[in-house]
Amino acid sequence: MIIEGVGSGRLDWAPALALLVWIETSAEVRLRRGLECDGADAIALRREGMAAEDRYQRQNRPKQRADLIAAGAPHTTHNPAVEFIRLAKPNSRLLI
């Protein structure tokens, strides 16, 4: 089973997760993408949601516990065949 979303790396779910993937994306990109989906009228709701996501990240620290980290909006050109993900932990294994 694949669980997707900002809350999928909750600390209380950690024992049941086989692999935790963190997708790194800036606040600006997160807001822009959200408004593209929901429309400009949703800006207050999006900002409120992003503040809740930031609190969740500080409490649950999913990025620091991730097995893999992916660039959600890479800023440099890259070869997706070899640079899509990087191992976050020295002993991690790619399971996909």
Is residue 94 domain-resident?
no
Is residue 79 domain-resident?
yes
Is residue 12 domain-resident?
yes
What is the pLDDT, as a whole number, of residue 31?
Answer: 93
Is residue 95 domain-resident?
no
**For 23-28, what is the mean pLDDT?**
89
What is the pLDDT, as a whole number, of residue 83?
Answer: 60
Mean pLDDT of the chain: 82
Judged by average pLDDT, the poorest of 4-8, 26-30, 50-54 is: 4-8
Q: What is the pLDDT of residues 54-78, one digit of tens each?
A: 999 999 999 999 888 887 876 666 6
Is residue 70 domain-resident?
yes
What is the pLDDT, as a whole number, of residue 94?
Answer: 46
| Closest to 22 measured CA to CA, from 52, 67, 79, 82 | 67
Is residue 82 domain-resident?
yes
The total domain count for the chain is: 1
pLDDT surpassing 80 at residue 84: no
For residue 60, give its domain range. Answer: 6-87
What residues contact residue 85 under an 8 Å CB cut-off, 6+ apart?
21, 68, 69, 70, 94
